[in-house]
């Protein structure tokens, strides 16, 4: 049975965690042919996020957490998650529900076909102003002109990476 690790950076997310957990449980029940590791990275939260994560871990050992000593930022939290994730595939997911957990099933389908980096792209940006949308498009155009690599607009951190990718990232970070 394959194992999926979900790396979930969390900073002051006590309000949304119960809903996220409910949705993650629904997804994992629907994907019963996989084992799950839900790895929360508490990024120096000042609310009750850490206490909630401790309680979740007592009730469900799939719910694991790493507690960073202070707020280092999302990218550092993700890197910390790479060191503790032990799945065949690793999903990076925001705790604030900006990334719908239900999309994970579709990501797995692509991964099972052999894709090693499966990312989700936003089709619609709810609640964002015209200015925000326009500046985002401009940003991606500028970045694309500056790099020889293809940059996918609206493709953020919400992705499924094969463990081979995580191994390569770990090696790159350490050198």
Using one digit for the tens of pLDDT, what is the confidence trace for 146-162? Answer: 666 665 555 567 889 99
Compute CA distances 135 → 33, 121, 122, 125, 146, whole Å. Answer: 42, 17, 16, 13, 17
Neighbours of 4 (CB within 10 A): 23
Neighbours of 138 (CB within 10 A): 10
Which CATH class for the 2-123+155-174 domain? alpha beta
Using one digit for the tens of pLDDT, what is the confidence trace for 87-122? Answer: 999 999 999 998 899 999 999 999 999 999 888 866
Distance CA 169, CA 95 (A): 22
Range with lowest mean pLDDT among 12-16, 87-91, 123-127, 160-164: 123-127
Contact (Cβ atoms closer than 8 angstroms) between residue 17 and residue 10: yes
Which is higher by pLDDT, 171 or 11?
11
Measuring CA to CA, which residue among 163, 20, 45 is closest to residue 99? 20
Using one digit for the tens of pLDDT, what is the confidence trace for 23-45? Answer: 999 999 999 999 999 999 999 99
Strands 2-10 and 89-92: parallel
pTM: 0.83
Contact (Cβ atoms closer than 8 angstroms) between residue 101 and residue 16: no
């Amino acid at each position: 049975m394959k194992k999926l690790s979900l790396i979930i950076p969390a900073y002051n997310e006590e309000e949304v965690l119960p809903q996220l957990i409910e949705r993650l449980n629904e997804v994992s029940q629907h994907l019963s042919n996989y084992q799950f590791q839900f790895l929360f990275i508490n990024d120096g939260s000042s609310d009750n996020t850490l206490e909630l994560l401790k309680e979740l871990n007592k009730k469900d050992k799939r719910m694991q957490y790493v507690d960073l000593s202070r707020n280092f930022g999302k990218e550092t939290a993700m890197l910390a998650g790479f060191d503790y994730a032990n799945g065949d595939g690793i999903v990076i997911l925001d705790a604030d529900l900006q990334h719908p957990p239900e999309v994970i099933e579709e990501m797995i389908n692509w991964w099972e076909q052999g894709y090693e980096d499966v990312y989700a792209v936003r089709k619609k940006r709810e609640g964002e102003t015209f200015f925000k949308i326009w500046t985002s498009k401009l940003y991606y155009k500028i970045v694309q002109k500056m790099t020889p690599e293809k940059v996918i607009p609206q493709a953020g951190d919400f992705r499924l990476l094969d463990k081979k990718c995580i191994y390569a990232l770990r090696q790159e970070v350490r050198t």
